[in-house]
Amino acid sequence: MTADQSVDVLVVGGGINGTGIARDAAGRGLSVLLVEKNDLGGATSSASSKLIHGGLRYLEQFEFRLVAEALREREVLLNTAPHLVRPLRFVMPHVPELRPAWMIRAGLWLYDMLARRQTLPGSAAVDLSSAPYNSGLQPSLHKGFIYSDCWVDDARLVIATARSARAHGARIRTRTACIALGRDNEQWRAVLQTAGGTVEEIRARFVINAAGPWAKNFLGEIAGLDVPFRLRLVQGSHIIVPKLYEGQHAFILQNDDRRVIFAYPYQDDYTLIGTTDVELKGDADDCAASADEVRYLCRAVNRYFQRAVSEQDVIHRYAGIRPLFDDGSNNPSQVTRDYALRIIGMPGEAALLSVFGGKITTYRALAEQAVDALRPWFPGLGPPWTKTQALDGGDLGAGGLTSLQQQAAHDYPWLPQSLLHALTQRHGANVHALLAGAGSMAGMGMDFGAGLHAREVDYFVEHEWARTAEDVLWRRTKCGLQLTPIQQQAVIAYLATRAS
Ligand SMILES: Cc1cc2nc3c(=O)[nH]c(=O)nc-3n(C[C@H](O)[C@H](O)[C@H](O)COP(=O)(O)OP(=O)(O)OC[C@H]3O[C@@H](n4cnc5c(N)ncnc54)[C@H](O)[C@@H]3O)c2cc1C
């Protein structure tokens, strides 16, 4: 791209919100360039609790708009990304001294009503003294409640969204930061810098600030604009420990500070536990799970499970930052999780829209609203379209993932079942493009372990913007959890041979 090139919309930030807006805008006929300073989904959007949920606990904060929208979007994502989103039953053990049963029953009733469920089962009381839900739990827990939400592969949802954006004509450039932005009559001049140090300038009629935790920094320091609102950075951490219980259900556990903690099955052999809410006083780049947060999460789950966990059991930990719109709340857990869109600039002049806060669950609706707001600048903008259009790889037909897996088992009989399941879940309908011409396990190339082969690594590099081992091992897949340091080195070495 040369300095003379211009686009309708420059999106800064390749998390779920930036890729969602790029997809929506490109599909409505705008020319779009998205720049991401690191890897797609490399920040908050791969460090979430991985739930597509209404947020049961937000009912206590009277966030009915957010919960209703999120529950609607839960159905949308189940239909449009069926390989990445799957139903999950949540069990809430009843602890009368924390919340009375009537309050939980009322909350779940409201949750079911707001959901207008098409596919997921409703809530019910459940017996925790017998199988299957007693697995791993303290024998003192007898009663509980069960309700539905969904699980998502968050990092792969970002990739699927970015691929959809590209399929509609958006250009996606990773390892490219927007380092300066200034107005030039009716356009913006944006200075972009690649990881290799190359600097270039482009012009855009509209800029979307989807920089997540860096949104305020982008406005103030990069664009030199006033920031007429406050953003709070609230860190949330997760830990992964060896499996604490059998079964495919999740737990929502009430803590004695009135927060809730989730625990759910992860990658067959593990339990994922999160999250915390800690106000981050420093910079967004300083985000890391602290020893205090790990102890907090261990204490919270030890109240419920037979096998106690401690810091020594933690196999992996990660942290992300919620960039929340400051509503003046004293308690980080109580700050609104709803999103806000703010525009600087009038029709006819170069304008900029900033995204603050939000949930992965509501990203499609957020993107639709953001692009709708561009109409005064682009009167020929097409109508909304993303609600019923499958994401890249998500067009699985009426039979869904099961029929894709049956078809794949027929087409690739040489593929072990566990690998077939992993690949269909990661790639959905694109599994055929990945496996075309492989013919046998030899055609999958070098075996790095944990079901990762050279053919898939090549695919990530050629079709999904992967560059580093971290992109492959922790975002395009979660194989990093199972591979030994030596096996991980083999992936690094393989990527180096490709780059040379
Ligand atoms: C602990 C935690 C748990 C959560 N759990 C859930 C959950 O279970 N369900 C749910 O629905 N939501 C959840 N959320 C919320 C959800 O993760 C976020 O709302 C969402 O990921 C935000 O996406 P984003 O695109 O706005 O930000 P990000 O994913 O952070 O993306 C912003 C991107 O901008 C890039 N960037 C910044 N500055 C520049 C620049 N100058 N040039 C180029 N690129 C730049 C960054 O590198 C980054 O990749 C959770 C959040 C946290 C922190």
Confidence of residue 323 (pLDDT cuts 50, 70, 90): confident
Q: How far apart are CA 53 and CA 360, in angstroms?
A: 9
Confidence of residue 481 (pLDDT cuts 50, 70, 90): very high
Is there a cis peptide before residue 132, judged by omega within 30 degrees of 0? yes
Sign of CA dihedral 444, 450, 456, 457: negative
**Through-space distance between the first and last CA atoms of the chain, rounded to whole angstroms:** 24
Residues contacting 301, CB < 8 A, separation 6+ = 244, 253, 261, 263, 273, 309
Confidence of residue 4 (pLDDT cuts 50, 70, 90): low
**434 touches 444 (CB < 8 A):** no
Task: Taking residues 490-500, report their average pLDDT.
Answer: 92
pLDDT at 277 over 80: yes
- Torsion angles phi and psi, residue 114, rounded to 5: -65, -25
Confidence of residue 52 (pLDDT cuts 50, 70, 90): very high
Confidence of residue 430 (pLDDT cuts 50, 70, 90): very high
What is 410-460 written as a DSSP string? Answer: HH-TTS-HHHHHHHHHHHGGGHHHHHTT--SGGGG--EEETTEEHHHHHHH
**Residues near ligand 1 with C-beta < 6 Å?**
12-18, 35-38, 42-45, 47-51, 177-178, 210-214, 218, 222, 236, 275, 320-322, 355, 358-361
For residue 252, the SS3 value is strand
- Torsion angles phi and psi, residue 252, rounded to 5: -115, 120
pLDDT at 2 over 70: no
* Mean pLDDT lowest among 141-150, 333-342, 426-435, 437-446: 333-342
CA of 284 relative to ligand 1 center, distance in Å? 11
Q: How far apart are CA 225 and CA 22, in angstroms?
A: 23
pLDDT at 329 over 80: no
Best residue among 19, 360, 364, 468 to mutate for probing ligand 1's pocket (most ligand atoms within 8 Å of CB) is 360
Q: How far apart are CA 183 and CA 173, in angstroms?
A: 22
Q: Which domains does the chain have, with CATH numbers?
A: 6-44+156-228+337-372 (3.50.50.60), 90-147+232-330 (3.30.9.10), 400-499 (1.10.8.870)
Pick from 323, 388, 358, 333: nearest CA to 69: 358
Task: Taking residues 73-85, report their average pLDDT.
Answer: 97
pLDDT at 33 over 50: yes
Q: What is the DSSP letter of 131?
A: T
**498 touches 475 (CB < 8 A):** no
Q: How far apart are CA 19 and CA 363, in angstroms?
A: 9
Q: Cα 170 to chain center, whole Å?
A: 20
Task: Taking residues 236-262, report their average pLDDT.
Answer: 96
Q: Would you mind telling me the total number of residues written for the chain in this entry?
A: 500
Counting Cβ atoms within 10 Å, is residue 385 exposed (0-12), middle (13-18) or buried (19+)? middle
Task: Taking residues 152-165, report their average pLDDT.
Answer: 98
**270 touches 241 (CB < 8 A):** yes
% residues pLDDT > 70 (the chain): 98
Residue 36's pLDDT is 98
For residue 253, the SS3 value is strand
Q: How far apart are CA 473 and CA 396, in angstroms?
A: 26
Confidence of residue 97 (pLDDT cuts 50, 70, 90): confident
Residue recorded with tokens 């999103």: 339
For residue 478, the SS3 value is coil
Q: How far apart are CA 393 and CA 271, in angstroms?
A: 27
Q: How far apart are CA 83 and CA 420, in angstroms?
A: 13
Is there a cis peptide before residue 402, judged by omega within 30 degrees of 0? no
Residue 334's pLDDT is 67
**60 touches 337 (CB < 8 A):** no
Pick from 261, 342, 344: nearest CA to 304: 261
Q: What is the mean pLDDT of the chain?
A: 94
What pTM was computed for the model?
0.97
pLDDT at 1 over 50: no
Ligand 1 atom with the smallest distance to the CA of 13 is 34
Residue 41's pLDDT is 98
CA of 102 relative to ligand 1 center, distance in Å? 35
pLDDT at 179 over 50: yes
In the chain, DSSP finds a helix count (H) and a strand count (E) of 13, 20
Ligand 1 atom with the smallest distance to the CA of 322 is 53
Residue recorded with tokens 């829209």: 353
% residues pLDDT > 90 (the chain): 85
Residue 500's pLDDT is 74
Counting Cβ atoms within 10 Å, is residue 108 exposed (0-12), middle (13-18) or buried (19+)? buried
Best residue among 11, 19, 39, 44 to mutate for probing ligand 1's pocket (most ligand atoms within 8 Å of CB) is 44
Q: What is the DSSP letter of 137?
A: B
